[in-house]
Copies of this chain bind each other. A is one copy, B any other.
Amino acid sequence: MKDFGVGIRKIGFLVLSILAGLFLWQMFTTFSQIPSFIFPKPIEVWDRLIIVLQDGSLMKHALITLQEVLFGLMLGLSAAIITGYFLAKSRIVERVLSPYIVASQSIPIVAIAPLLVIWLGPGIFSKILTSALIVFFPVLVNTVVGLKSVPRELYDLMRSLQANTWQRIIKLEIPAAMPVFLGGLRIGATLSVIGAVVGEFVGADKGLGFLVNVGRGLYDTALVFVAVFTIVLLSLGLYGSVIFIENRLLSWQKRNGD
């Protein structure tokens, strides 16, 4: 009962929060001088949404992007966790790899777009890669920070119990690093969407990023908004999933924080 009540309240806040946003938006479009092909009214976007929902095109593009995002997230996550582990453990690995990792973060995707297209083709892979690339860094950094925050005494405990590496990872490092790691995942999950969308901007003929491009090309700003909202929804969904995981895994910490 109690949990249920909390759930209702959470959803209440979300609805409130969305209604407030809609209200501000309506006010803004009503009173500002901005024409609706630059900033459409809620109702126009709603109408456009119904159309793309009915003809199934929104679903189609959203699923493509979702697919890119999920693969990108998985790829970026795995790479970040593995690299992060070795970075946290070895100074030498950290020193040699760091510059390249930072570099990989700051290379603008458009600058290497030709290479991506040549190597990965015009399909889904380049988008997965851009998504993975942007996920990688925050997760990596928080993996490292999280691992460094594991109390030394607990390492002693695990050593004294003759835990093997694997057990040390599973039973100590993962749970202890989890709060900070999940912070990284929150960031990464949100960024993964923008990564895939940016990949789609560079060149694609499907996906929500493409839909934004189409809308822009046709001066169909309502469509742009529909696509953007779907992108935001995707982000919120992923973010919500991470929060859900946090609530599950970090209940021991919650009690402390509240």
Find residues 217-240 in chain A having any chain B CB closer than 8 Å to their own CB: 224, 227-228, 231-232, 234-236, 239
State whether A183 touches B144 (Cβ < 8 A): yes
State whether B111 touches A17 (Cβ < 8 A): no
* CB neighbours of A115 from chain B (8 A): 34, 38-39
Oligomeric state, in number of copies? 2
A-B contact pairs, 23 of them (CB 8 A): A13-B95, A13-B96, A14-B99, A17-B96, A17-B100, A21-B99, A34-B115, A39-B115, A98-B239, A102-B232, A106-B193, A106-B232, A106-B235, A108-B197, A108-B201, A108-B228, A111-B227, A137-B190, A137-B191, A141-B184, A145-B180, A152-B257, A187-B187
A interface, CB within 8 angstroms of B: 10, 13-14, 16-18, 20-21, 34, 38-39, 92, 95-100, 102-103, 105-108, 110-112, 114-115, 118, 137-138, 141-142, 144-145, 148-149, 152, 179-180, 182-184, 186-187, 190-191, 193-194, 197-198, 201, 209, 212, 216, 224, 227-228, 231-232, 234-236, 239, 253, 256-257
